[in-house]
Amino acid sequence: MVRHLRSEANAGRMLPFVIEYQGQLVGQLTVAGITWGSMCSGHVGYWVDQAVAGRGVMPTAVALAVDHCFRAVGLHRIEVCIRPENGPSRRVVEKLGFREEGLRPRYLHIDGAWRDHLVYALTAEEVPEGLLARWRRSRARTAPRDHQNTPGNAGNPGN
């Protein structure tokens, strides 16, 4: 698997990332299906350890990866396809402002059957300031005022 990931990354078709939180491996994110030419797009898949779910780890990781894809890699569009019943994963992209584009019936073969997926997408023009900056602003607006200056937070609600 590692050889395959390296080969795809070296060919410019995939960007695999590991996610660490407080020095521990807690997840993985992959930008795959990278297509060049007139499309310049890719799709993101991810998972996170349940022990850190709800702490903003995955939205932050997705925002960082999308910013890297738009700014450094030169992609124009990022898609995330999620099974409709996967509420936590849907909340990640909804928090970040991805737009829901529709349903792909029987999109991927998972657990012995073809499963429907909802498609979410974002283009570079939709986040000229960067997705991480937008995510941090949205967290600052929703954070309780007294939380912003708690010890360890250093007044930065984007942490």
Domain range for 143: 2-147
- Write down the pTM of the prediction: 0.86
**Residue 38 falls inside a structural domain:** yes
88-110: per-residue pLDDT in tens?
Answer: 999 999 999 999 999 999 999 99
- What is the count of structural domains for the chain? 1
Q: If pLDDT is split at 50, 70 and 90, which confidence band does 154 have?
A: very low
Nearest-angstrom CA–CA distance, 123 and 131: 10
Read off the CATH number of the domain in which 98 is found: 3.40.630.30
Domain membership of residue 141 (yes or no) is yes
**Does residue 58 lie in a domain region?**
yes
Stretch 8-36: mean pLDDT: 94
Q: Measuring CA to CA, which residue among 60, 56, 82, 33 is closest to residue 133?
A: 60
CA pair distance 9, 19, nearest whole angstrom: 17
pLDDT score at 5: 82
pLDDT tier at 147, thresholds 50, 70, 90: very low
Give the model's pLDDT for residue 141.
84
